[in-house]
């Protein structure tokens, strides 16, 4: 493991955020749903306190905050926390299944720079079967409400075995709200039941790009095979996750319970130079001479770490298999989306002809 930390010197031994940190806050891991593909721990209830949230923002420069992990609106102090966050000079976003959004007043919704709704299927029957009865209607109602209030909407989907060929259809649903679709590849945090095979991974992205335009690509392998230049920032460099347990992680999918929040409160931005963050920046030996090294960095470090293969190239890498995957993309106009560079995510929008 020490070799991995040493290799990070080739990338950047010391990291300091140039324009502030993209902070992920999980105020609680509680949720009104029990989705089998979710990464949160459903067996315990953890919550951050308002004092902890305040302490974090006092110690590190933050440019954006996303409220995720659980349904943050289920925290008993959620509105007090939101009132505090509204006073901070940051771009505030929330990821929700609709429940937290429905509990907010109109003026509270206007505090958000962007509101993300989790929608994994293009039909009511499929969505409700996976997430729970009534979830489709709740998302439709609350997304439309946001549009009427002038609050930007993003639809976020998990690309997994059950929907990887349906995501262009989800993008068309998103377009009804003038919303882009943000796609995260399923990570086997609790189970590999929904994990994509190598072929499914690449078929999913190829078919998605055939029917949508690209706003941004943060999934490292996809970015490399699409011929895009290296991305600045990202996991291990400018992103910090604070979990409901009061721990920190370089990535929402990083295995283990995380480092104690007291480390961040003691060191401030030096947390980015702690061992977990250095490990998230490492490049496997097999990737050091690869022509795609700068744009790929060995693929998703969180996925490699989850699979116990941080020292190995990403499972979905075609180069180590002796293959090439050429992805043809058409770029869309950029949007001011705070999460664009904070995770291994891909953002697209349905084409006008398909909407």
pLDDT in tens, 150-185: 999 999 999 999 999 999 999 999 999 999 999 999
The two three-digit tokens of residue 254, written as one number: 């990083």
Distances (CA, A) of 194 to 37, 120, 162, 198, 218: 7, 13, 7, 13, 21
Residue keyed to tokens 């910090």: 240
**How far is residue 218 from each of residues 18, 234, 347, measured CA to CA in Å?**
19, 8, 8
Which residue, chain included where needed, has tokens 């022509």? Answer: 291
CA angle 28, 32, 37 (to 5 degrees): 85
The predicted structure's pLDDT at residue 342: 66
Tokens of 32: 């009104």
Q: Cα dist. 114→145, 290, 350 in Å?
A: 13, 37, 18
Other Cβ atoms closer than 10 A to 335: 15
**Helix, strand, coil % over all residues of the chain, rounded to 5:** 35, 15, 45
Average pLDDT, the chain: 91
pLDDT band at 30 (very low <50, low <70, confident <90, very high): very high
Query: How does residue 268 score in pLDDT terms, banded at 50, 70 and 90?
Result: very high
pLDDT of 34: 81
The pTM is what? 0.93
Is residue 3 scored above 50 in pLDDT?
no
- Does residue 11 surpass a pLDDT of 70? no
Sign of CA dihedral 210, 211, 216, 218: negative
Q: Per-domain residue ranges for the chain? A: 17-270+329-354
The fold of the 17-270+329-354 domain, in CATH, is TIM Barrel (3.20.20)
Q: How many residues does the chain have?
A: 355
Cα–chain-centroid distance for residue 211? 22
Stretch 295-306: mean pLDDT, rounded? 93
| DSSP-based three-state secondary structure for 62 | strand
Q: How confident is the model at residue 337 (pLDDT cuts 50, 70, 90)?
A: confident
Query: Alpha-carbon distance 58 to 118, whole Å?
Result: 30
Q: Strand, coil or helix: what is 137?
A: helix
Q: Lowest-confidence range among 70-84, 109-123, 231-245?
A: 231-245
Q: Judge whether residue 99 has pLDDT over 90.
A: yes
Please identify which residue in the block is written with the tokens 């943060």: 218
- Pairing relation of β-strands 181-185 and 62-67? unpaired
Q: Judge contact between 318 and 202, C-beta under 8 A.
A: yes
In the structure, what pLDDT confidence band is assigned to residue 37 with cuts at 50, 70 and 90? confident
């Amino acid at each position: 493991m020490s070799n991995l930390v040493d290799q990070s010197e080739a990338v950047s031994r010391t990291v300091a955020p140039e324009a502030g940190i993209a902070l992920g806050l999980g105020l609680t891991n509680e949720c009104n749903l029990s989705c089998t593909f979710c990464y949160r721990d459903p067996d315990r209830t953890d919550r951050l306190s308002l004092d902890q949230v305040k302490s974090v923002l006092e110690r590190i420069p933050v440019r954006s905050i996303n409220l995720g992990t659980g349904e943050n609106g289920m925290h008993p102090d959620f509105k007090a926390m939101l009132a505090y966050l509204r006073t901070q000079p940051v771009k505030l976003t929330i990821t929700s299944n609709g429940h937290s959004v429905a509990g907010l007043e109109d003026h509270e919704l206007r505090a958000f720079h962007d509101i993300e709704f989790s929608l994994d299927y293009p039909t009511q029957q499929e969505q409700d079967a996976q997430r729970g009865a009534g979830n489709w209607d709740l998302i439709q109602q609350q997304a439309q409400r946001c549009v009427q209030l002038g609050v930007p909407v993003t639809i976020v989907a998990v690309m997994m075995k059950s929907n990887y060929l349906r995501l262009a259809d989800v993008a068309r649903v998103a377009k009804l709200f003038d919303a882009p679709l943000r796609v995260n590849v399923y990570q086997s945090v609790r189970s590999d039941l929904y994990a994509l095979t190598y072929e499914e991974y690449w078929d999913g992205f190829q078919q998605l790009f055939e029917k949508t335009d690209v706003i941004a690509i943060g999934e490292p392998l996809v970015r490399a095979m699409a011929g895009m230049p290296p991305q600045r920032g990202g996991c291990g460099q400018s992103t910090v996750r604070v979990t409901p347990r009061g721990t920190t992680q370089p990535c929402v999918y990083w295995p283990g319970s995380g480092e104690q929040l007291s480390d961040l409160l003691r060191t401030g931005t030096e947390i980015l130079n702690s061992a977990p963050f250095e490990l998230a920046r490492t490049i496997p030996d097999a990737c050091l001479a690869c022509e795609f090294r700068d744009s790929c960095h060995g693929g998703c470090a969180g996925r490699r770490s989850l699979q116990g293969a941080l020292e190995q190239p990403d499972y979905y890498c075609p180069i180590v298999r002796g293959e090439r995957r050429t992805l043809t993309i058409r770029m869309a106009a950029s949007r001011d989306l705070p999460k664009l560079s904070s995770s291994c995510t891909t953002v697209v929008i349905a084409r006008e002809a398909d909407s």
